[in-house]
Amino acid sequence: MRFISKTALAVAAIALVAPAAQAGEVKVGSVGGVTGPIAELVAAIVDGRNLAAKHVNDQGGLFKGDTYKLVLGDSACDPKAGVDAGSKIVNVEQVVAVIGASCSGATNGMVQSVTIPAGVVSLSDSATAPSITDLKDNDLVFRVAPSDAYQGLALAKLVKGSGITKVAMTYANDDYNAGIAAVFAREFKAMGGTITGNQAHEPDKPSYRSELSTLSKGGPQALAIFAYYGSSGIAIIRNSLENGLFGKFYAADGMFDQSVIDQIGADNLRGNISITQSASDYDDVSYKTFAAAFTATGGNPQAPYVAHGYDASFLMALAIEKAGSADRGKISAALRSVANAPGEVIRPGEWKKAKALIAAGKDINYEGASGNVDFDANGDVGGVYSVNTVGKDGKWETNRLN
């Protein structure tokens, strides 16, 4: 029998496993309210994120063929759950960066307790509270969705432009809804409008009749609702109509879901509800490219923050590629580099092109499905808005706001 040394056996074993070891993966957190009051909206946003990851992996992956892997975490649209999801994603899964969380309260909780102390970049696609702008974040917190400082103004203009001069308002007591409500109230008053009543409310109550009865006093022409459809928004509309307290409603994008129409009834809402939403320029080449790809998966590209979800995921991959390694400390500067001018324009799906330009040492400038995603000093972006009303077919009809 031929004698084989232990050293030779070890070398042979290494040779057997070496090919598999060459193909690695780069993990990025994908945190969102998978459960909770806007679970249906978040499911579509996650689909947008996953489509971007598929485009990356189908066109060569990261670096020398590493898989771009999104690790899902459920923040449940809740600050404590956001901290828990962030802790697991960052400390256990050891992700290089985080996309999300989807709700402002969960995002504030996660970034302040987990990602900022850990030196990990987070890039949200749908956390819009103005408070996020002022975080002391060491340039680690970014978002591709515009601050509600803009949406609050857009909604105020819509209400005033509709001939409404007196409005009552109610808001859920959380970061997102309280933040946009404050902006709306300030801007509506500045336009000469009158707020006849302004009340906070707690989510998930069986009835809001007493609060609405109080708000109906003072002659308001409409009710502005700042809430998530799945926790209090639908109940507030139902209670208003059942008791004859309000018949006309305005709301922000936390209320935008088909279930609002399905549960209240299209005939009850047609001509009586308008909901603003952060949107895209639907005539833009980048949006059309994304829309075609997302529609091919069976999704609705105009669903809230789906385009933003795609952009956040694709941008993060571009930043990691630009950084040249899965090094948490290099992501922030790389993210600004690939998102902002100057550079050759990269659009959704153009991973192979971007990868080649980065390898050649060229600058790139991602022009996204949701807009140009140019980050300001606070990691914020501008944006455009649409208004959603009930169409003849009992579905939401979307039009861009001027």
Q: What is the DSSP string of 215-247?
A: HTTT--SEEEEES-IIIIIHHHHHHHHHTTS--
Do 272 and 157 lie in one domain? The reply is: yes
At 170-226, the pLDDT tens digits run: 999 999 999 999 999 999 999 999 999 999 999 999 999 999 999 999 999 999 999
90: helix, coil or strand?
Answer: helix
Number of domains making up the chain: 2
* Sequence-separated (6 or more) residues with CB below 8 Å from residue 17: none
Q: Are 170 and 39 in a shared domain?
A: no
Q: Record the tokens describing residue 99, joined without a space.
A: 């996309």
Check whether residue 265 and residue 393 sit in a common domain.
yes
Q: What CA–CA distance (Å, rounded) separates 388 from 396?
A: 6
Residue 23 is predicted with a pLDDT of 62
With cut-offs at 50, 70 and 90, classify the pLDDT of residue 3.
very low
The continuous run of DSSP H or E covering 391 comes out as: none
Which range of residues forms the domain containing residue 214?
A: 149-279+385-400
Residue 35 neighbours by CB under 8 Å, 6+ apart: 74, 76
Bridge-partner residues for 199, per DSSP? 170
Q: 3-state DSSP call for residue 58?
A: helix
Q: Is the pLDDT of residue 5 over 50?
A: no
- β-pairing, 384-390 with 396-400? antiparallel
Residues 207 and 117 in one domain: no
Q: What is the pLDDT of residues 266-292, one digit of tens each?
A: 999 999 999 999 999 999 999 999 999
Domain check: are 47 and 128 in the same one?
Answer: yes
56 shares its domain with 125: yes
Q: Count the Cβ atoms, other than its own, within 10 Å of residue 391.
A: 13
Those residues whose C-beta lies under 8 Å from the C-beta of residue 351, and which sit 6 or more positions away, are 55, 56, 58, 59, 60, 314, 317
Give the domain CATH number at 182: 3.40.50.2300
**Does residue 240 sit in the same domain as residue 268?**
yes
Say whether both 89 and 130 belong to one domain: yes
Is pLDDT at 16 greater than 60 in this prediction? no
How do strand 98-99 and strand 25-32 relate by DSSP bridges? parallel
Report the chain's mean pLDDT, rounded to a whole number: 94
**Predicted confidence band of residue 383 (pLDDT cuts 50, 70, 90):** confident
User: pLDDT tens digits, residue range 125-145?
Assistant: 999 999 999 999 999 999 999
Give the strands of the sheet with 396-400, arranged side by side: 194-201, 166-172, 222-226, 249-251, 273-279, 384-390, 396-400
Which one-letter amino acid corresponds to residue 32?
Answer: G
Q: In sequence order, which ranges of 204-330 are alpha helices (DSSP H)? A: 209-215, 234-242, 258-264, 266-269, 285-296, 306-323
SS (H, E, C) 135-200: CCCCCCEEECCCCHHHHHHHHHHHHHHCCCCEEEEEEECCHHHHHHHHHHHHHHHHCCCEEEEEEE
Q: Are 126 and 76 members of one domain?
A: yes
Task: State whether 105 and 51 are in the same domain.
Answer: yes
Please state the rounded mean pLDDT for residues 318-325: 98
Q: Which residue has the tokens 């590629």?
A: 321
In a domain, 128, yes or no: yes
Identify the H or E element spanning 361. none
Please write the tens of the pLDDT for every residue from 234-270. 999 999 999 999 999 999 999 999 999 999 999 999 9
pLDDT digits (tens, 9 = 90+) for 133-180: 999 999 999 999 999 999 999 999 999 999 999 999 999 999 999 999
Is 267 among the domain residues? yes
Pair (161, 135) in one structural domain: no
Ordered strands of the 141-143 beta sheet: 67-74, 25-32, 98-99, 122-124, 141-143
Considering the domain boundaries, does residue 229 fall inside one? Answer: yes
Question: Residue 342 CB: number of other CB atoms within 10 A?
Answer: 7
Same domain, 89 and 186: no
Q: Is residue 378 predicted with pLDDT exceeding 80?
A: yes
Cis preceding linkage at 101, omega within 30:
yes
